[in-house]
């Protein structure tokens, strides 16, 4: 028997090396090299290529209407661009425990109820565990077939025997192809399994969902190659300590990636949140200093969220700065602007910032609200009731215009806000139902508020 040849493969980016390396020279990650056997190249048949094809002029390409299965979960249908496309391959990524299996079991139920046949392959949980979960979610659909399997060959066989409309593979990291010698979850296995599933989904027109775990750096385990292969990539995000979950489209060949879906994890599974602002503001303390409502955007949807700040005298030499839900550097920058441009002495204070409900605000339009919250807490003065704020702040303290102004203002009106503070550059016309206060710089806003 010849010597078994091995190589080392970076599990983060797929780079290969003949010897083990501590740090990957390609992506710079540490401890990602794993020994894998060198296989004979596995021949995967190309999908849908035959010899009688000819290039045709673009104008003569015929488009058949895509068949879409509605999930009847509006939040999910939106993110997918109007339902699950027949024969598409969708990758659902997210941290362990965030609710991917729960979401997909619920999807299996809703499409099953409309008469589609679903095959749910669980490589992580036993049939009993999945059944317990289904009972908890009160799922009784007869069109869902379950199997607990890791071997890719058998999964292919089940699909051929059952010919389902929808296939769910939970998760891609547990599936292995016996012809490939590396262990399940390794780059070669994940790549191989995805290629096979893609072939099934295209050739047999099965809409396939694959679950992928996320590594600590936030990308789906296995190389980026995986994201290139599939039609749609969705990330399921959220803070495990909060009940809200956001489904975000990162790539979509059948729709835009601007949409997000908001869900709430309840004891009976995931519930759609159709009016996020109302829920985010529901427990808002009245007349509390440091609390400000910002009109933010999540994709193409306006969301009103509360930002809280706490500024206190520091009892240590180096003041503490902590931000949850907004970028730490952004908070530091806003405080530096206040200190330098307006001469407010907050550099020596401890500062804490929190976005309520576990939301992550990353857009620049939150700047102005952060400034208002910080000063409100610093001066211990409550903001007047019914004010909503948005605007970007530049380093000279100027307030710059932002996008989606109309949607932000309308959402504020819908929730009963009376005043809106916004950048001067953004005001084109007055809107009835709300008083618009435009500001050119931070000082103007603070003069108005305090
Ligand atoms: P799960 O779907 O197993 O996560 P993933 O597949 O992404 O790893 O969800 C796990 C968590 O969700 C678990 O901590 C329990 C919680 N959960 C509920 O709160 N309510 C429910 O109805 C279900 C099914 C799960
Ligand atoms: Mg799971």
> Range of 19's domain?
6-37
Residues 160, 73 within the same domain: yes
Please state, in angstroms and rounded to a whole number, the distance separating the CA atoms of residues 12 and 29.
7
Q: Is the pLDDT of residue 283 over 90?
A: no
Q: Report the pLDDT averaged over residues 291-311.
A: 90
Residues whose CB is less than 8 angstroms from the CB of residue 252 and which lie 6 or more positions away in sequence, other chains included: 80, 81, 231, 232, 233
Average pLDDT of every residue of the chain: 88
Show the beta-strand stretches assigned E in 131-228: 144-148, 166-170, 207-213
Ligand 1 atom at minimal distance to the Cα of residue 265? 19
Residue 29 or 161, more confident: 161
The residue whose CA has the least distance to atom 15 of ligand 1 is: 97
Residues 445, 352 within the same domain: yes
Q: Which residues pair with 122 in a beta bridge?
A: 148, 170
Residue 244 or 43, more confident: 244
Residues 268, 286 within the same domain: no
Give me 128's structure tokens: 């009993």
Digit-coded pLDDT (tens) for 127-172: 999 999 999 999 988 899 999 999 999 999 999 999 999 999 998 9
Digit-coded pLDDT (tens) for 220-241: 666 567 888 899 999 998 877 7
Residue 1 or 35, more confident: 35
- Measured in Å, residue 270 CA sits from the centre of ligand 1 at 9
Q: Is the pLDDT of residue 39 over 70?
A: no
Q: How confident is the model at residue 48 (pLDDT cuts 50, 70, 90)?
A: low
Q: Is residue 42 part of a domain?
A: no
Predicted model pTM: 0.79
Q: Is residue 207 part of a domain?
A: yes
Residues 30, 72 within the same domain: no
Give Cα separations from 377 to 146, 317, 351, 442 (angstroms). Answer: 54, 21, 10, 16
The residue whose CA has the least distance to atom 11 of ligand 1 is: 97
Q: Is ligand 1 within 6 A of the CB of residue 242? A: no
- Measured in Å, residue 169 CA sits from the centre of ligand 2 at 10
Give Cα separations from 400 to 118, 167, 390, 426, 447 (angstroms). Answer: 50, 48, 10, 8, 18
Ligand 1 atom at minimal distance to the Cα of residue 243? 19
The residue whose CA has the least distance to atom 18 of ligand 1 is: 267
Residue 439 or 237, more confident: 439
The residue whose CA has the least distance to atom 2 of ligand 1 is: 99
Please state, in angstroms and rounded to a whole number, the distance separating the CA atoms of residues 212 and 234.
10
Residues 23, 81 within the same domain: no
pLDDT of residue 184: 82
Residues 229, 294 within the same domain: no
Residues whose CB is less than 8 angstroms from the CB of residue 358 and which lie 6 or more positions away in sequence, other chains included: 238, 239, 241, 242, 244, 325
pLDDT of residue 393: 96
Q: Is the pLDDT of residue 44 over 60?
A: no
Q: Is residue 196 part of a domain?
A: yes
Show the beta-strand stretches assigned E in 325-369: 349-355
Residues 267, 175 within the same domain: yes
Give Cα separations from 73 to 82, 115, 133, 303 (angstroms). Answer: 10, 16, 19, 19
Q: Is the pLDDT of residue 327 over 70?
A: yes
Ligand closest to the CA atom of residue 136: 1
In percent, the amount of the chain with pLDDT more than 70 equals: 94
- Measured in Å, residue 98 CA sits from the centre of ligand 1 at 6
Q: Is ligand 1 within 6 A of the CB of residue 316? A: no
The winner for highest mean pLDDT among 182-186, 241-245, 332-336, 423-427 is 332-336
pLDDT of residue 2: 58
Residues 266, 322 within the same domain: no
Digit-coded pLDDT (tens) for 389-406: 999 999 999 999 999 999
Residues 94, 114 within the same domain: yes
Q: How confident is the model at residue 51 (pLDDT cuts 50, 70, 90)?
A: low
Q: Is the pLDDT of residue 1 over 60?
A: no
Q: How confident is the model at residue 7 (pLDDT cuts 50, 70, 90)?
A: confident
The crossing angle, in degrees rounded to 10, of helices 152-162 and 187-203 is 10
Digit-coded pLDDT (tens) for 369-387: 999 999 999 999 999 889 9
Residues 243, 347 within the same domain: no
Q: Report the pLDDT averaged over residues 306-332.
A: 91
Q: Is residue 79 part of a domain?
A: yes
No. of helices (H) and no. of strands (E), the chain: 11, 23
Q: Is residue 322 part of a domain?
A: yes
pLDDT of residue 222: 62
Q: Is the pLDDT of residue 85 over 70?
A: yes
Residues 98, 159 within the same domain: yes
Please state, in angstroms and rounded to a whole number, the distance separating the CA atoms of residues 191 and 356.
39
Ligand 1 atom at minimal distance to the Cα of residue 100? 7
Residues 289, 267 within the same domain: no
The winner for highest mean pLDDT among 71-75, 254-258, 364-368 is 364-368
pLDDT of residue 250: 86
Domain count, the chain: 3
pLDDT of residue 314: 84
Q: Is residue 59 part of a domain?
A: no
Digit-coded pLDDT (tens) for 190-223: 888 999 999 999 989 999 999 988 766 666 666 5
pLDDT of residue 420: 94
Give Cα separations from 170 to 46, 150, 174 (angstroms). Answer: 25, 10, 8
The residue whose CA has the least distance to atom 9 of ligand 1 is: 99
Please state, in angstroms and rounded to a whole number, the distance separating the CA atoms of residues 236 and 246.
6
Q: Is ligand 1 within 6 A of the CB of residue 245? A: no
The CATH number of residue 285's host domain is: 3.30.230.10
In percent, the amount of the chain with pLDDT more than 90 equals: 52
């Amino acid at each position: 028997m010849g010597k078994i040849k091995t190589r080392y493969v970076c599990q983060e980016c797929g780079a290969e090396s003949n010897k083990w390396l501590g740090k990957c020279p390609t992506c710079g990650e540490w401890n990602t090299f794993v020994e894998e056997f060198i296989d004979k190249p596995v021949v995967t048949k190309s999908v849908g290529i035959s010899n009688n094809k000819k290039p045709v002029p673009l104008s003569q390409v015929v488009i058949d209407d895509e068949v879409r299965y509605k999930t009847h979960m509006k939040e999910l249908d939106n993110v997918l661009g109007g339902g699950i496309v027949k024969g598409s391959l969708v990758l659902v990524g997210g941290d362990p425990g965030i609710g991917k299996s729960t979401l997909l079991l619920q999807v299996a139920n809703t499409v099953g109820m409309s008469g589609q046949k679903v095959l749910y392959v669980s490589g992580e949980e036993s049939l009993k565990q999945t059944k317990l979960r289904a009972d908890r979610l009160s799922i009784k659909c007869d069109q869902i077939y379950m199997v607990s399997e890791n071997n890719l060959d058998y999964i292919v066989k089940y699909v051929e025997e059952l010919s389902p409309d929808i296939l769910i593979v939970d998760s891609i990291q547990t599936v292995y192809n016996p012809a490939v010698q590396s262990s399940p979850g390794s780059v070669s296995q994940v790549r191989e399994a995805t290629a096979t599933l893609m072939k099934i989904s295209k050739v047999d027109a099965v809409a396939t969902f694959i679950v992928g775990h996320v590594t600590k750096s936030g990308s789906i385990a296995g190389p980026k190659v995986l994201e290139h292969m599939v039609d749609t990539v969705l990330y399921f995000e959220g803070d495990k300590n909060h009940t809200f979950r956001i489904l975000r489209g990162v790539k979509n060949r059948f729709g835009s990636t601007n949409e997000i879906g908001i869900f709430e994890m309840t004891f009976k599974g995931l519930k759609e949140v159709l009016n996020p602002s109302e829920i985010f503001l529901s427990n808002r303390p009245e007349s509390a200093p440091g609390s400000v409502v910002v009109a933010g955007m999540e994709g193409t949807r306006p969301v009103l969220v509360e930002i809280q700040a706490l500024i206190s005298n520091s009892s240590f030499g180096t003041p503490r700065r902590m931000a949850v839900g907004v970028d730490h550097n952004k908070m530091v920058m806003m405080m530096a602007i206040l200190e330098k441009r307006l001469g407010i002495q907050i550099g020596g204070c401890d500062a804490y910032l929190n976005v309520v409900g576990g939301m992550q605000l990353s857009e620049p339009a939150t700047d102005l609200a952060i400034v208002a919250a910080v000063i409100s807490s610093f001066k211990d003065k409550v903001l007047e009731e019914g004010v909503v704020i948005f605007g970007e702040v530049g380093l000279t303290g100027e307030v710059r215009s932002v996008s989606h102004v109309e949607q932000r203002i309308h959402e504020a009106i819908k929730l009963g806000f009376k005043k809106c503070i916004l950048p001067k550059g953004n005001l084109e016309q007055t809107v009835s139902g709300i008083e618009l206060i435009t500001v050119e710089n931070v000082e103007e806003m603070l003069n108005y508020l305090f």
